[in-house]
Structure 1
Amino acid sequence: MSIGRIDAHQHYWSLAHHDYGWLQDTPELHAIHRDFAPEDLAPLLDDADIDATVLVQAAPSEAETARLLGIAADPASRVRAVVGWTDLAADDAPRRISRLAQEPLIKGLRPMLQDLPDPEWILDARLEPAIRTMTELGLCLDLLIKPHQIDAATKFALRHPLLPMVIDHGAKPDIAHGRFEPWASQIAILAQCTRVSCKLSGLATEAGADWDAAALRPYVDHLIDRFGPLRLMWGSDWPVLNLAGTYGRWQAASLELLAGLSPLEQEQILGTNAATFYGIK
């Protein structure tokens, strides 16, 4: 029996809480500088025939994680997994992680690595107790990285082969400027040397204005070739996606890009892999 389609990466936020420091009302971000809630996404999920979602943190605060869990507690939200946040470098990180792990819908954590000035922060020895606790409790790690952080992520993954990890947004290649290397070689090494998975999400946002499936194809084909259909999962990155187009446009482009795969392989990327990775029943 099919698990159905899963959006493996989406967000909700409310500006009133003032913990989204990155979300400024600039011309570049104006389209998403407002509140986004389940009632905004529901009709898009209906149109796209999405059965479940993975709700991912967008603020480096435990308060936001608590709010996301409150949303996910309503079965009508269709949220079946939450990726939260806590400070992995904190002295009491193991205690905090253990407390969060008591929440049935907490399936993973995500440090906002792309915003940190040190590209090798993930290799800091202060994180070891937190990573050990996550591994013992069966939590996953989302790696929000850019190309200049891929090498550090590879080293980290080799250190922690038992911790399930997934690269968000294909590590954000610079599609807008047509930069294929060194991203392509670095992500290939990561895929070959580790068991890390990767999300087919966020790529339209990296492609700039007037993108189409053809602009994304070299990058998507490379990810399919290197990770294979069993280590890829589809996500929308909504509402950040609104900066690049509509939910329907991204889904249509994704289906076009995956059309060369078998029906089973497409099913894996569009739902089964996310269900397995995040433990969605």
Structure 2
Amino acid sequence: MARYDGPVVDAHHHLWSDAPAKYPWLAAEPALACPFMADDYFAAAAPNDVVATVWIEACASDPLAEAKAAAALHAAEPRLATAIIAHAPLDASDLPERLDRLQDAAQTLRGIRDIVAVRPGHSSFARHPDLLQRPAFAAGLRELARRGLSFDLMLEPWQMDGALALAAAIPDLPFIIEHAGSPDFSTTEGTALWRDAMRRASALPNIAVKISALHCRMPGWTNAALAEPILSLVEWFGVDRLTFASDFPVHDRTVPFADAYQTFRAAVADLSADGQRALFHQTARNLYRL
């Protein structure tokens, strides 16, 4: 089967300006602490035919201002921020008011990300290490479901039990796992933990997965080596609950956008044309209601 060469919907990327003033964490990331805007994105994406994107919040100091900037970006370039995933602290007592302001500010708001990922021995963007166990966090997820929004779930494999309990309890909320579930392919134990976690996640129909940032989780990666977990995800979830994404510009520190997409194309080249189109284009449209 020929490799996919059609239109691409990038299901996960970031863009920012005024860094690190608006993104304090970038002070410790000099390679990223500069503006990344529309021209930078499309230069990195070439020769991929990106026709729409899902813009993801990036832990800004002012999430509402960040969402407004994303909406302005979309107004200027409709191919970007076709869907906006903003940040809100889901356990906040004033969450409904925060969501009202976000929805007023960004007409293409499709969901919320409140990072829960905690990796022992590593720094974390999670506001608290136990968000998945907090009743107020679960109440916030229910508020997203009530509004017809989705939840972008950035977690580590060892946290999957808590996430699955919430996904099972709130079946009308789409949970979209980021970065293929953040595997650790550096050890046999890490790989086994990831495989078990993702296989169990696939049993819940309201869970989908974005495949991105795999290269930085597999030391000494090759296209052939990365094809194995990608095809495992296809086996477990099916192409209708999987989509590819760039994680630009963060992942470009490890592998450039265009090279990462060549890995994706090689991994799924034996799938049908419809299957490949789903992974690169249609599933993201469906998940984020583009």
1:224 pairs with 205, 221, 234, which one? 234
Contact kept in structure 1, 2:67 and 2:102, CA below 8 Å: no
Residues 210-219 or 53-62, more deviating = 210-219
Aligned to 2:218: 207
CA distance in structure 1 between the partners assigned to 2:144 and 2:93 by the alignment: 15
CA distance in structure 1 between the partners assigned to 2:182 and 2:26 by the alignment: 18
Quickly say closer, same or farther: Cα 1:225–1:58, change in 2 above 3 A: same
Offset of residue 30 of structure 1: 3.9
Aligned to 1:168: 178
Three-state SS of the structure 1 residue aligned to 2:258 is helix
Q: Unmatched 5+ residue regions in structure 2? A: 1-5, 118-124
Q: Unmatched 5+ residue regions in structure 1? A: none
1:7 pairs with 1, 5, 10, which one? 10
CA distance in structure 2 between the partners assigned to 1:135 and 1:95 by the alignment: 15
Q: Percent identity?
A: 26
Aligned to 1:45: 45
Letter aligned with residue 48 of structure 2: A
Give the helix-richer structure, 1 or 2. Answer: 1
Three-state SS of the structure 1 residue aligned to 2:191 is coil
Aligned to 2:208: 197
Letter aligned with residue 190 of structure 1: A
Letter aligned with residue 198 of structure 2: I
CA distance in structure 2 between the partners assigned to 1:106 and 1:117 by the alignment: 22
> What is the alpha-carbon root mean square deviation over aligned residues?
2.0
Three-state SS of the structure 2 residue aligned to 1:52 is strand
Letter aligned with residue 271 of structure 1: H
Aligned to 2:76: 74
Q: Does 1:182 align with 2:193?
A: yes
Instruction: List structure 1 runs of 4+ shifted beyond 6 angstroms.
Output: none
Residues 228-237 or 97-106, more deviating = 97-106
CA distance in structure 2 between the partners assigned to 1:237 and 1:152 by the alignment: 25
Contact kept in structure 1, 2:214 and 2:226, CA below 8 Å: yes
CA distance in structure 1 between the partners assigned to 2:50 and 2:171 by the alignment: 31
The one-character-per-residue Cα deviations of 1:261-281 (angstroms, maximum 9, x if unpaired) are 11101101111011011111x
CA distance in structure 1 between the partners assigned to 2:48 and 2:217 by the alignment: 22
Three-state SS of the structure 1 residue aligned to 2:7 is coil
Contact kept in structure 2, 1:85 and 1:109, CA below 8 Å: yes
CA distance in structure 1 between the partners assigned to 2:251 and 2:89 by the alignment: 26
CA distance in structure 2 between the partners assigned to 1:263 and 1:161 by the alignment: 31
Three-state SS of the structure 1 residue aligned to 2:274 is helix
Offset of residue 160 of structure 1: 0.8
Offset of residue 77 of structure 1: 4.9
CA distance in structure 2 between the partners assigned to 1:176 and 1:217 by the alignment: 16
Aligned to 1:91: 93
Aligned residues: 274
CA distance in structure 2 between the partners assigned to 1:261 and 1:240 by the alignment: 29
Contact kept in structure 1, 2:52 and 2:78, CA below 8 Å: no
Aligned to 1:273: 283
Three-state SS of the structure 2 residue aligned to 1:150 is helix
Offset of residue 106 of structure 1: 0.5
Offset of residue 194 of structure 1: 4.2
Quickly say closer, same or farther: Cα 1:117–1:181, change in 2 above 3 A: farther
Aligned to 1:33: 33
CA distance in structure 2 between the partners assigned to 1:118 and 1:85 by the alignment: 15
Letter aligned with residue 59 of structure 1: C
CA distance in structure 1 between the partners assigned to 2:270 and 2:160 by the alignment: 28
2:21 pairs with 18, 23, 39, which one? 18
Q: So what's the TM-score if we normalise by structure 2?
A: 0.87
